[in-house]
Amino acid sequence: MSEYWVAEWLDMGAIADIPLRGARTVRMADGQEVAFFRTAGNHVYALENSCPHKKGPLSQGIVHGTSVTCPLHNWVIDLKTGEAEGADEGCTPTIPLRIDGGRIMIRRADAMGKAA
Amino acid sequence: MLAPSSRERLIVIGNGMAGCRAVEEILARDPDRYAITIFGAEAHVNYNRIMLSPVLAGEKSFEDIVINDLCWYADNEIELITSDPVVAIDREAKTVRSQHGKVIAYDRLLIATGSDPFIIPVPGKDLPGVITFRDMTDVDAMLSAAASGGDAVVIGGGLLGLEAAHGLTLRGMKVTVIHLMDTLMERQLDEAAGWLLKSALETRGQTILTGANTEAIYGDGKVEGVRLKDGREIPASIVVMAVGIRPNVALARDAGLAIGRGIHVDDHMVTSDPAILAVGECVEHDGTVYGLVAPLWEMCRALADGVTSKPSGYKGSVTSTKLKVAGLDVFSAGDFSGGDGAEDIVLRDASRGVYKRVIVRDDKVVGAVLYGDTGDGGWYFDLLKKGEDVSAIRDALIFGQAFASGGGALVDPKAAVAALSDDAEICGCNGVSKAKVVGCIEAGAHTLDAVRTSCKASASCGSCTGLVENLLALTMGDEYAGERVAKTMCKCTSFSHDEVRRQIIEQGLKEIPQVMQALTWSTPDGCASCRPALNYYLLCAWPGRYIDDQQSRFVNERMHANIQKDGTYSVVPRMWGGLTNPTELRAIADVVEKYDAPMVKVTGGQRLDIFGIKKEDLPAVWADLNAAGMVSGHAYGKALRTVKTCVGSEWCRFGTQDSTGLGVKLERAFWGSWMPHKFKMAVSGCPRNCAEATIKDFGVICVDSGYELHIGGNGGITVRVTDLLCKVATEQEAIHIAAAFVQLYREEARYLERTAPWIERVGLAYVKERVVDDTVHRDELAARFWVAQSFSQDDPWAERAEGAERHLHQRLGEVRPRAGATAQAAIQSPEGVMV
């Protein structure tokens, strides 16, 4: 069995492949879409690609500072916590990640999702 | 003094900054302990590598940058072996062997091999004329190339690359910098500061290409130029490769020492072999590899303490960067990525070209980026390293040490203004002092406007408006209640939409970061309201020159389709004037079947809307529709949507003119134009008005004697019937006036303001005056519209179908469980398996 099969962290892709102030998604093993956001400050965050309001695809929103504005109804979600900002209430699950040599890694358990 | 023969033998591999500094530190602590031999790969004595830039720039000579001349080696009884690098370490025998076969024994060995420039593996990388920027040999090569002038390309827009570019520019070469990332020096600067640096370097004659990916270096026998992935070719007689450095660990690896990215060392710079130490850029300490000088010095101190029996231990370094490129001051320190719980404090001083951003987390400074004025860099760095609680001085922090240290009283901005001296300059544009402003207020100028009229303070760029308001409040006391009634664009700025547009034109602002800097935005990169507005205003102001920022577009305009509540998209191909034909209908039917679209619907604007298309299928759908001759219908855009028509005189027994024909002409002329909001047109062939032209932004009602032109209608939340603008005799006149009207709307309405509320706001009489009565200015408006249109009528779908912006339509990857084994996963990306 190669080292690859026991790797705890899985490589999701390169930071450089996400546009600055933009996002890309990865479909997890259970079909869940996870959005990877890259801020102007070159920080990467992973959240479920689903607004707590009406499940809008957050990856398609405008990224500003460390927030994203949902493309459906303009809820503003804090990328750091997943919490809705301002008067809105709700929270999108965040996924812990680490960066290794410009690559984005998430835990195997998170990548396997509910299918694990 | 111990006889040299009885001392321990210390061999140092590397005659660079780290190796020699370590030796200096050891000598300072215990000059008699070691008999020292230093091996250097270069022919030179020890010199200051970071000063190579001034040598290249002609500001210093090699002699100026020598740290230790030959006397130093002699005085300290150090044996220096140059041009004969160590090629092997025998840890069993405790010896090193040099290239020329010299074998010398050691008691302690210090590896200070530094780092090597990273060469990107592109075709042509080995051609003569490809140079790195690491040592004196490289500088000599660049100087001899520069002697004959010509074009140079620098690959890499980091610290080193920009210094090389600056030096070559001063030496008379025409320099292009190619940088893979979107921002120069992205590891040290945030986007705003990176942009300021880029525009300043451009004014100094360099060409800066960001987001540029090198495909190959081409040339026949020597370098002739660089080709980018997008096909562009940049001629060059030399190419300087400055994309980064990599710890030089070859010797250590061959000797079997533990290495990661660098040679693993403990807190005392000891490697996995207790007899061998390592220091400098070649080491990895606690997971970090350093490429700056300050950490080197700290490591050398810890090393010297360790080997002279007074171990202190290296605890890692917090680094800061302060540099001057082409006379531009830049500083950064700590973490400016805006991570968890971080708050940004931003100060922009447009007239002085200053940008300051301090990042605070849990009442502590965690990072700072300064551009243009780096005087307080050291202070911020100090606060950062000490982790001091800054809550007491938080409000004044951004103004710098002199200001913030004043403490309590100065924190209130009004008190801060009060504390300014009488001759302090308030308005940089017009050179107005505080005393003059106060004098004007005391003489009766009790409003912003009055102050602007009487002394011109804040009458130009407006960035000192806040200061003038504070002076009004200070001078008049409670009598001044504030007055800025015009709503600001958003929370990021104190300017209104109209002021921002005026400044864009007057100051010639051409890019979003430039607007934010000039108009002192309070956030580093704006928000979801101001960014799309600025993108539109710039697009409108500088047609053909402004490069659209996709990340400042709302999703529909970025994806060229309409997002639906389930995240799929709907697609509306253009049908000119609402006309279609069997080819188009077949193509639409085929798309519906091929991509499993669950619904097709006829829209209110006489089009067919295909629902339920997945974002990854959009380019293929567009390719199929393009093949049938159809282009984007812009049903998603703040742009011309549709021109609705009735059948008109060609078929209808009541029709007075060819309304379908005029509708098609209007749509062909106006499609693709970006507007403040969506824009709908209609042409009805008679006053029965079957095309509902009187609830459109621009409607034409045909009558026997010509065409009635109507404006400002809306069928939305608040129904508004159009106002009659004028009547014309010919189609040409109708199209001409439509162009002038649309351009007036494009130039003067606020972003997201439909024509109906705009006309209510400015009045019908004003619009009539501009696009009917004042024929000279009307013609100018129309002319500007056609210029803009010449850049906007490329089908965005065709570009995407051919592969443009592919990343917008593709996932980064996909995790797929392997068949029969749920605990295993493979990650697929469009580029293939990645793990």
- CATH number of the domain to which B579 belongs: 3.90.480.10
The mean pLDDT value of chain B amounts to 88
Tens-digit pLDDT profile for residues B763-777: 999 999 999 999 999
- Residue B425 located in a structural domain: yes
- How many angstroms away from the CA of B824 is the closest CA of chain A? 6
CB contact under 8 A, B531 and A13: no
pLDDT on residue B497: 92
- Residue A116 located in a structural domain: no
Share of chain B above pLDDT 70, in %: 93
Name B55's Cβ contacts closer than 8 Å, sequence gap at least 6. Answer: B61, B62, B64, B65, B136, B139
Residues B561 and B607 in one domain: yes
pLDDT on residue B833: 36
CB contact under 8 A, B191 and A41: yes
Which of residues 61 through 90 in chain A touch B, CB cutoff 8 A? 61-66, 69, 71-72, 74, 76, 80
- CATH number of the domain to which B381 belongs: 3.30.390.30
| CA dist., res. B280 & res. B301, Å (int) | 11
Domain boundary among B551, B574, B598: B551
For chain B, the C-alpha Rg in angstroms (whole number) is: 34
- Residue B634 located in a structural domain: no
Question: Residue B85's Cα: distance from chain center in Å?
Answer: 43
Which of B501-515, B689-703, B806-820 is least confident?
A: B806-820
* Inter-chain contacts counted by CB atoms under 8 A, chains A and B: 139
- Residue B491 located in a structural domain: yes
Which of residues 734 through 753 in chain B touch A, CB cutoff 8 A? none
Q: Which residue has the higher pLDDT, B348 or B284?
A: B284
- Residue A79 located in a structural domain: yes
Residues B10 and B95 in one domain: yes
Mutate to test the interface with A, among B531, B618, B751, B815 (most CBs of A within 10 A): B815
Do the Cβ atoms of B810 and A33 come closer than 8 Å?
no
User: The complex's ipTM?
Assistant: 0.86
| CA dist., res. B53 & res. B61, Å (int) | 10
Range of the domain at B521: 418-551
**Predicted TM-score (pTM) of this structure:** 0.66
What are the residue ranges of helices labelled H in B507-632?
A: 512-518, 530-541, 555-559, 582-594, 618-627
- How many angstroms away from the CA of A90 is the closest CA of chain B? 18
CB contact under 8 A, A71 and B811: no
Q: Which residue has the higher pLDDT, B616 or A112?
A: B616
Residue A109 contacts B where some CB pair is shorter than 8 Å? no
Residues in chain B: 835
Confidence of residue B331 (pLDDT cuts 50, 70, 90): confident
| CA dist., res. B660 & res. B668, Å (int) | 12
Residue B287 contacts A where some CB pair is shorter than 8 Å? no
- Residue B361 located in a structural domain: yes
Residue B589 contacts A where some CB pair is shorter than 8 Å? no
CB contact under 8 A, A25 and B181: no
pLDDT on residue B705: 94
Phi first, then psi: give them for residue A56, nearest 5 degrees: -60, 150
Residues B655 and B773 in one domain: yes
- How many angstroms away from the CA of A3 is the closest CA of chain B? 11
pLDDT on residue B196: 87
Which residue from A44, A40, A50, A57 is spatially nearest to A82, judged by alpha carbons? A50
- Residue B817 located in a structural domain: no
Domain boundary among B366, B389, B411: B411
pLDDT at position B830 over 60:
no
CA distances (Å), B683 to each of B25, B433, B636, B693, B717, in order? 86, 59, 22, 6, 22
Q: Which residues of A touch B827 (CB under 8 A)?
A: 10-12, 26, 111
Domain boundary among B385, B411, B437: B411
* H or E segment to which residue B354 belongs: strand B354-361
Residues B350 and B276 in one domain: no
pLDDT at position B488 over 90:
no
Residues B303 and B336 in one domain: no
Residues B235 and B125 in one domain: yes
Which residue from B502, B495, B492, B543 is spatially nearest to B522, judged by alpha carbons? B492
Share of chain A above pLDDT 90, in %: 64
- How many angstroms away from the CA of A13 is the closest CA of chain B? 6
Tens-digit pLDDT profile for residues A25-78: 999 988 899 999 999 888 999 999 999 999 999 999 999 999 999 999 889 999
| CA dist., res. B632 & res. B369, Å (int) | 43
B638, two tokens: 């703040």
- CATH number of the domain to which B655 belongs: 3.30.413.10
- Residue B731 located in a structural domain: yes
Residues B484 and B539 in one domain: yes
- CATH number of the domain to which A56 belongs: 2.102.10.10
Which residue from B640, B625, B642, B699 is spatially nearest to B672, judged by alpha carbons? B640
pLDDT at position B396 over 50:
yes
Share of chain B above pLDDT 90, in %: 53
| CA dist., res. A35 & res. A82, Å (int) | 12
Total of domains in chain B: 6
Which residue from B252, B332, B245, B243 is spatially nearest to B290, judged by alpha carbons? B245
CA distances (Å), B75 to each of B26, B34, B69, B291, B308, in order? 15, 14, 10, 30, 20
Residues B162 and B205 in one domain: yes
CB contact under 8 A, A60 and B563: yes
| CA dist., res. B754 & res. B769, Å (int) | 20
> Strand B95-98 to strand B86-90: parallel, antiparallel, or no bridges (unpaired)?
antiparallel
Residues B568 and B685 in one domain: no
Judged on CB neighbours under 10 Å (0-12, 13-18, 19+), A101 is: exposed
Total of domains in chain A: 1
Residues B540 and B422 in one domain: yes
Q: Could you tell me if residue B326 is left (phi over 0), alpha (psi between -120 and 50 degrees) or otherwise beta?
A: left
Mutate to test the interface with B, among A4, A11, A18, A26 (most CBs of B within 10 A): A26
Query: Average pLDDT for residues B697-703, to the nearest whole number?
Result: 97
Range of the domain at A54: 3-111
Residues B108 and B252 in one domain: yes
Tens-digit pLDDT profile for residues B567-612: 999 999 999 999 999 999 999 999 999 999 999 999 999 999 999 9
Residue B523 contacts A where some CB pair is shorter than 8 Å? yes
Question: Residue B553's Cα: distance from chain center in Å?
Answer: 16
Which of residues 308 through 337 in chain B touch A, CB cutoff 8 A? 336-337
Residues B536 and B447 in one domain: yes
Q: Which residues of A touch B811 (CB under 8 A)?
A: 24-27
B571, two tokens: 């697609």
Query: Average pLDDT for residues B657-669, to the nearest whole number?
Result: 96
